[in-house]
Amino acid sequence: MKTFIEIVGGIILICPLIVLILTYMICRKMRIKKMYAVGFAADITTFILFFSVPLAFKSIWEVPFSLYIISIALLIALGLTFIDWRTKKEIDVPILLKKIWRIYFVLLSILYISAWLIGLSVNIVEYLKSA
């Protein structure tokens, strides 16, 4: 049972797209509106991406990227909070957190796709060099 959980956890970390699709499908089966299902699936996937992106970049360059990603996430949160405070004077915390979390989803998704493309390119180049 322990190895099964490890395998499932590894698959989820390697491919967060599976989490996105499965969460969306489960929400739709529960008759949640499409817009809310997409949002909830993105929220769950963002949490997984916070672990997957550093893992993907570490597997390519063997350098830990976790600190960089956390630092950038904090800077984004600070920046958006400052902008929200300057424009509205009254911060609506749940809406601000949702906005920050969705920006994290977009940025982490872009980083994850980039990591896959870079990793694929590096492996192709290494294969062509050895052949």
pTM of the model: 0.89
pLDDT tens digits along 17-49: 999 999 999 999 999 999 999 999 999 999 999
Taking a C-beta distance cutoff of 8 angstroms, is the pair 20, 80 a contact?
no
DSSP per residue, 47-108: HHHHHHHHHHHHHHHS---HHHHHHHHHHHHHHHHHHHHHHHSS--HHHHHHHHHHHHHHHH
DSSP annotation of 30:
T
Q: Which positions ≥6 away from 40 have C-beta within 8 Å?
A: 23, 27, 32
pLDDT tens digits along 74-87: 999 999 999 999 99
Distance (Å, rounded) from C-alpha 53 to C-alpha 105? Answer: 11
